[in-house]
Every structure is written in structure tokens, then in C-alpha cells.
Amino acid sequence: MRDVRHELLTGLTTKPKYISPKYFYDEKGSALFEQITSLPEYYPTRTEKQILSNVVSQLDFDFTNATIVELGSGDASKISLIFNQLTDETLAGLTYFPVDISYSAIQQSITGLSCNFKLKSITGLVLDFNTQLHLIPKKPKRLFLFLGSTIGNFDETERDRFLKNLYNEMQPGDYLLLGLDRVKETAVLEKAYNDSKGVTERFNKNIMQVMNGILDTNFIPDDFAHKAFFNSELNRIEMHLVARKNIQITIDKGINISLKQGESIHTENSYKFTDKDIENMTQNSQLKIKQVFSDDKNWFSIIFFEKN
Ligand SMILES: C[S@@+](CC[C@H](N)C(=O)[O-])C[C@H]1O[C@@H](n2cnc3c(N)ncnc32)[C@H](O)[C@@H]1O
């Protein structure tokens, strides 16, 4: 908890101010993210699911007695698409570890999956994939999944660090399926993060309620405006919360921070990938690309890596 407070205080007292996107995902945030994934404007989930729903027969991986570790598993709706393509016999030999920072997401997904699929075992792991990958049980033949372009929340340095850590945790015979959102027309990208029902706005502003709970702050979400735009120099969607007026925030009834009207708190980056990015990422991680699956418009790609 001390680390969490330190991280949050650093972000809120630095310039420009920021909060890590992992704090979006309390129970309400996880439920709002689930709603976002079915919005008509939010193409990434729809497109990735379309690719996943017939990937098994093409994937050069034998699921027999395998272990699947899904990092940032969320509502686990994507693993269900993979399980749907496996026989009962194969499912009966499978071990599945959903891994997420959100306890409620893990709890709900385990309940749902256990009713629908008879696996050898399903064990949820509530941990931070940035710092606690070593806590994932070592088993033979693990397939890691990192879907939803969650890797797009990292900048280049964080991404390289994450993939290097993952590479070091992987054993020979382990594989990774990585979902990546691709660079495309700005209008399509910006619409996905500015939906007409305002769900993404509510998701973004919910992080302030999370802050109020952890740091005893007095954030009033309506004092802030949701802002999401494509930064074409850095190939990323940026999400911010912009102060509508001058605001004083008290942390733990002791520390005061002030925001000027128009000042923003940066809450999320969602990097979009080019072929060159994928090439660099692969080289830096030492992972080896085995297969690439993309939709017809090349809006989203799922890369299948093996450990060299
Ligand atoms: C963008 S969502 C993707 C969810 C799901 N994989 C999908 O594709 O729909 C990111 C997920 O990662 C989880 N998450 C974010 N930061 C995390 C961290 N540092 N450690 C573990 N899980 C994290 C969130 O709780 C959330 O479920």
C-alpha cells in the first residue's frame, strides 16, 4: 500500500500530472470497461474477437495438457472464444490462470468460466503484471495471452521492460499470443475513445473516485472534462482529465495540490502499432514471431511468439 500511495503522490505532484491506467480497474471501472468493449465505436474488441474466434485451427500450438496464462484477463470473454474451439477432451486437460490486478474481474470471470467449461483447473491470480510475473506458477507448455492491446498502455521503454521480464519468466516451450491495435485513420481512432453514450468519459472519470478511496482526496469528477485525442507524432491515443476551473485537491487531509483551469491529469496512453514498431519490439524482446493473424482491414493483429 505504501508503494501505491508513493506512486500516486508522485504522479499528482509532478508536472504534467498523471495517474497510471491500472487504477481505472476497481469494480466499477472493470464493469465500465466491459461496457466500452461492446460499443459500436469501439472497434478493437470486436475486431480482435473476430480474429480469435477461428484462430485455434490455424495456430501452431498443441493445446493438449497445456497451461494458459492470461495477463490482464478482464472479463475473460476472449479466452471463452478459444475454449469454444477446443474439444471436451482437450479442455479436460487444460490448466488456466487468469491474471489481473482487479479482484472483482478475477472473481466474476472464474465463476462464469467454471460454469461453462470443464477444465482440469482454473486458478485466478490477483497480481501486478509489471512487477509480479515471477509469482505465476511454472508449468510445462504455457501459452501466455496478452490481449486487448493492453501492451499499448506502455510507452516504448515500459513495453521493452515488460517483454524482457516476460521473456525471462518464460521457459523453453512457452509461447505468447499478443494482441496489438494498429495505426489507422485518426477519425476511426478518436471516435473509439469518444463514444456517443459517454461510457469512456465515465470510465475515465471513475479514476477520481478510485483516488478518493485510496488517498482520501476530494476529487469531484464533474469539475473535470474528458479529453481523448490521437497524438500522431507518438502514434498514441492520449486520455486526459482537464480541470474546468481552478481546483484545490487535498490529499490525506494534509497535502494540497492545485490545478489551474485547463490543466490536465494524463490518465492513459494507448499506443497504436506499425510494422516497424512490431519489428523493433520483437528484436528488443528476443522473442521470435511464429505467426501473425490480422483482420481484412489490418486494423488489429494478434502475434504468436515463441521463446527462442
Ligand atoms: C485494456 S483491459 C483488457 C482486458 C481484456 N484482456 C480484453 O482484452 O478485453 C486491461 C486489463 O488489464 C488489467 N490490468 C491493468 N493493469 C494491470 C496490471 N498492472 N497488472 C495486472 N492487470 C492489470 C485490467 O484490470 C484490465 O482487466
- The string of pLDDT tens digits covering residues 62-108 is 999 999 999 999 999 999 999 999 999 999 999 999 999 999 999 99
At residue 26, φ and ψ (nearest 5 deg) are: -80, -170
Pocket lining: 105 vs ligand 1, CB cutoff 6 Å: yes
Overall size of the chain counted in residues: 308
Q: For a substitution probing ligand 1, which of 4, 22, 42 has the most ligand atoms within 8 Å of its CB?
A: 22
Q: Are 125 and 135 spatial neighbours (Cβ–Cβ below 8 Å)?
A: yes
Cα angle 130-133-139, degrees, rounded to a multiple of 5 = 160
Q: Is residue 195 within 8 Å of residue 204, measured between CB atoms?
A: no
Site of grid cell 486494423: 299
Neighbours of 140 (CB within 10 A): 11
* Ligand 1 atom index nearest CA of 179: 8
User: How far, in Å, from the CA of 237 to the mean position of ligand 1?
Assistant: 17
Hey, what CATH topology would domain 43-185+274-307 get?
Answer: Rossmann fold (3.40.50)
Distance 146 CA to ligand 1 centre (A): 9
CB 242 within 8 A of CB 227: yes
What is the C-alpha to C-alpha distance for residues 209 and 216, in angstroms, rounded to an integer?
Answer: 10
pLDDT at 1: 67
- Going from N- to C-terminal start, the domains of the chain cover 2-27+187-271, 43-185+274-307
3-state secondary structure of 223: helix
pLDDT in tens, 234-262: 999 999 999 999 999 998 878 899 999 99
Give the DSSP letter of residue 137.
Answer: P
pLDDT at 4: 86
Q: Which residues of the chain have pLDDT under 70?
A: 1
CA distance 216 to 220: 12
Cα–Cα dist 18/11, whole Å: 5
Nearest CA to ligand 1 atom 6: 73
Q: Which three cell numbers stand for residue 4?
A: 501505491
Q: State the pLDDT at residue 253.
A: 78
Model-level pTM greater than 0.75? yes
178 Cβ inside 6 Å of ligand 1: no
